[in-house]
Each structure stands twice: as structure tokens, then as C-alpha cells.
Amino acid sequence: ISGSLRCCYGTLGLQTGAVADSQLTASSALGAFITGQDSEWGPSGARLKQAGLPWAPSSSNHQQWLQVDLRKEKRITGIWKLTSAVVRKMDSYRVLYSNDGREWSTYTEADSTQPKSFQGNNNYLQEVRNNFIPPIEARFVRISPTSWHHGIALKLELLGCQPSAGRRAPRREAAAFSVSR
């Protein structure tokens, strides 16, 4: 890891509440379609290490996503992901990013046009860290589940820092790797 990235793995505020509930949105939430009210499985439940149910969509299909609005462009160097629901487990996912919330790019590996599929956790309580090398610079990040077991559920934290003045990460990513703990 280069010296400029070594210091850029701080949390970006989901755990601490610096990212407000209004900055977390999702394609849907389990239970909300029945009651018309905010769901206990809503996007605010997606905060890693916070008590309560994770985010879970109303149905498990490839059109579901969880979105984080960081309110301004950040250098995003990785993600901690956990599925804490006993029955639901997200096995893999893709990461999309945007600066305007309308046009999205999908994270790809070096010299590839194929979207990178990130590994989820192997059990319900294992956190998985995926690092983005080089980092993403974006305001919005979307997690798009691609495979799951008994349904989609997710808690996460984004890692990164403010973009360096005069020094910018590439808009198109080159590589990624995963670390489990």
C-alpha cells in the first residue's frame, strides 16, 4: 500500500452517525410494503456494529440496492461488510459509484471491463473487508447484491478520507482485493 493510501482507511461515518439516516436510501425495505411505514429492516439498519436489524429489501432479486450519500466527494478506499441476520446472508455484491446520483459507474478490476464481484461473508457474524486499489472518488456509493442465501441483508461501513488537494484517484478503477477478519 502506498504511503498516500496508508492513512486513508478511516471510517466514513456510518457507525458513528456522522452519516445521517437521510443519507441512507434503498431500493426497498422488508416490511415497509406491508405497513406503508418505515421498516425495522430499513436502510438506517445498515450501520456496521450498530444494534438492531440490518437493511433487508422487500424481495431478494438483482434490482435491489443500498445507497450511501456522503454529501460531498470522498476518497473511498474500502468497505467493511457484515450480514448479521441469522437467516439472510449476502454472498457477493457489486459496488457502483457516482458524483451526481444519476450516472453510475461499476467498480472493475485492472484491465477489465467486467464488473468486480466482491466476496460477502462465509458466516452470519464474520466481517469482510474489501479494499479498492486504486480508490474510488465519489459522493454516492451503491451496494448491489449479486448472490445471497435465504435473502439479502446487510450492515456496512465505508473506509476512506477526504480527497487530497491536487492529487486525485482515477475515476476508473484498476484493481480490488478482499480481506476477511
Asked, for residue 179, whether it belongs to a domain, the answer is no
Asked, for residue 178, whether it belongs to a domain, the answer is no
Asked, for residue 171, whether it belongs to a domain, the answer is no
Domain count, the chain: 1
Asked, for residue 170, whether it belongs to a domain, the answer is no
Going by C-beta distance under 8 Å and a sequence separation of 6 or more, which residues neighbour residue 155? 45, 46, 47, 48, 49, 50, 54, 55, 81, 82, 83, 84
CATH code of residue 36:
2.60.120.260
Residues of the chain with confidence (pLDDT) below 70:
1-6, 32-39, 83-86, 124, 165-181
pLDDT of 150: 87
Asked, for residue 169, whether it belongs to a domain, the answer is no
Asked, for residue 151, whether it belongs to a domain, the answer is yes
Domain range enclosing 37: 3-164
Asked, for residue 18, whether it belongs to a domain, the answer is yes
Asked, for residue 174, whether it belongs to a domain, the answer is no
Q: What is the pLDDT of residues 93-130, one digit of tens each?
A: 999 999 999 999 999 877 788 899 998 877 767 788 99
**β pairing state of 89-98 and 10-11:** unpaired
Give the span between the Cα atoms of 83 and 127, in whole angstroms: 8
